[in-house]
Amino acid sequence: MATDSEFFRALLDNFYDGVYFVDRERLITYWNKGAERISGYAAAEALNTHCHDELLNHVDEDGNRLCQGRCPVAQTLADGRSREAEVYLHHKAGHRVPVHVRVAPIVDPGGAVIGAVEVFSDNSAKMSALHRVQDLERMAYVDQLTGLANRALTDITLRARLDELSRYGWPFGVLFIDIDQFKQVNDRLGHEVGDAVLRAAANTLRGAARSFDLVGRWGGEEFVAILANTDARTLQAIADRFRALVEASVVSAGGAEHVFTVSVGGTQATADDSVETLISRADALMYASKQSGRNCVTIG
C-alpha cells in the first residue's frame, strides 16, 4: 500500500503546472513532471541544486535577473508571506518562457519557515497565441524553422492593419528586428547553431509579445512584429523588452553557451503608408541601431 508521501508525490506529478520545493538554503528537494515539461529540465538535473544556481534564471520583462536579488522564493523564505509574480524562466533549449509564479512558505508545527513551494504555469494570457499558431499551422502560414508566422501571413496582417487604420483610425506600430552578426554565427559555429539561435530568438520574441500582437519571420535572421493599439511610448517599451529578453537568452551547443543580441527599428504606421513604405522605414531605423553599436532600439 502506498505511503502518504508516495500518494502526494504521484498527485503532484500529475499536475499540469510546474511544482518544486526548496529548503531554507533554497536547495531543490522536489521537482515534478510539470516542471520538467515547462522548463525542459529533468528532475535529475534540478534536484540537489540551489534555485539561486540560476537553473531557471528568472528575469523580469526588462531582462533583469531575479535569482540573486528580487527572487520571490527568497522573499517568502525571509518573511513567511505568500506571493505571486509574472516572470520569464530560462528554458533548457535556450529561449525565455513567460510564467505565472506562486510561492508559499512551508512551516513546521511550531510555525517556523523551513522551506517554500513554488508553483509556476505557462502564462494563461499567452494561450490565445498558442491556439492561433495551431490554426496557422493548418493554414500553412507558419515558418517551419521557427514556428512563427511566415512572411506571407505577416504581409497579409500588415495589409489588414493598414486597412483598419484607414477605415477606423485604429493605430498600430511595426518593429523590424535583426539578429546581430548572424552571418558570423553561421560561418564560425555552423548552420545547426545558427538555426538554434533563430529558434531561440523566435521563441523569446513570441513569449514576450502581447497575446493580440503578431511576430513573424520576414526572412533570414529578420523578424517583424506588428503591434496593435500602440503609440510611440508603447512601441518603445515593447521594443526594449524584446531586446532585453533576447540578450538574456542562451543557446547551448557544441559544449558551449552562446549569447546573441538584436538590433531593433520601430515606427508607427500612418494613413498614407503602404506595406512597402512601412517596412522600409522600420528597416532603415533598424540599420540606425546597427550603426549605433548594435543591441539597441531606434524608434522614429
Adjacent-strand bridge partners of 115: 23, 106
From the candidates 36, 118, 137, 221, which is the catalytic residue?
221
Q: Measured between alpha carbons, how far is 260 from 295 in angstroms, rounded to an integer?
A: 9
Strands of 96-107's sheet in order across:
28-31, 18-23, 113-122, 96-107, 83-90
Q: Measured between alpha carbons, how far is 206 from 197 in angstroms, rounded to an integer?
A: 14
Q: Residue 161 is inside which H or E element, if any?
A: helix 151-168
CB 73 within 8 A of CB 22: yes
Residue 222 CB partners (closer than 8 Å, separation 6+): 176, 177, 178
Cell of 91: 528554458
How buried is residue 4: exposed, middle or buried, by Cβ count under 10 Å (0-12/13-18/19+)? exposed
The radius of gyration computed from the CA coordinates of the chain, to the nearest angstrom, equals: 21
**Residue found by looking up cell 511544482 in the block:** 19
CB 282 within 8 A of CB 265: yes
Q: Is 221 marked active-site? A: yes
Annotated catalytic residues are: 221
